[in-house]
Amino acid sequence: MTTPTVGEHPHGFDDLVAANKRYAISFPHGFDGIAHQGVLILTCMDSRLEPLEMFGLRVGEAKILRTAGGRLTQPALAAMVMGVHKLKVNRILIVPHTLCAAASSTEAQLRDSISELSGVDAHGFTFGVDPDQMGRLREDVETVRTQPLIGPFAEVGGFLYNVETGLVDRIC
């Protein structure tokens, strides 16, 4: 095996594709695309989070949207509207978490940091991070609640997931 260059993984995607073949052996066939518990969860991409499991849900029961920090983005909002009107979503949970990297620096600090780490100028890039995690959560929940295509059709709640205990607290 040759030494990988920067940006290449020694396995490429081979280990993942091999794992998929094992997964497909016991694949649970027969689901449609409906959220059967009416649930949509917007949460962080953090690898410690299990969005279905944390709420006792299983495959087929919920829509999951993940962004850095669980922040609301325009594509996430569009997906919520589709979920509500096409896929039977009637409960939307926005769930950021404790010890989140997306809430540990300002936009300027993250731009500086990634520019320094990569050697590539990242100052024109928008990451959407913000240390005021609870302020952003309240703002995002309000944006979804007041969206005319969502507010009258679905309940919207803001929660904080504690990565050290596994518990969620209702914030708003």
- Cβ closest to Zn ion, residue 89 vs residue 103: 103
The annotation status of 172 as a binding-site residue, yes or no, is no
Please select the residue that binds Zn ion; options are 35, 40, 41, 44, rule is CB under 5 A: 44
Q: How far is the CB of 36 from Zn ion (least distance, A)?
A: 27
The annotation status of 100 as a binding-site residue, yes or no, is yes
Q: For the segment 61-100, give every residue that binds Zn ion (CB under 5 A).
A: 100
CA atoms within 13 A on the CB side of 77: 16
The annotation status of 44 as a binding-site residue, yes or no, is yes
Q: How far is the CB of 72 from Zn ion (least distance, A)?
A: 14
Q: How far is the CB of 46 from Zn ion (least distance, A)?
A: 4
Both structure tokens of 39: 């649930």
Phi, psi for 129 (deg, rounded to 5): -90, 155
Residue listed under structure tokens 């024109």: 124
Q: Do the beta carbons of residue 74 and residue 96 sit within 8 Å?
A: no
- 61/1 Cα distance (integer angstroms): 43
C-alpha distance from residue 56 to each of 86, 106, 143 (Å): 23, 34, 27
| Contacts (Cβ under 8 Å, ≥6 apart) of 1 | 10
Q: How far is the CB of 47 from Zn ion (least distance, A)?
A: 9
Binding mask 104-143 for Zn ion (x = CB under 5 A): ----------------------------------------
- Cβ closest to Zn ion, residue 46 vs residue 140: 46
What DSSP state is assigned to residue 164?
A: T
**Residues in the site for Zn ion, rule: CB under 5 A?**
44, 46, 100
Binding residues for Zn(2+): 44, 46, 97, 100
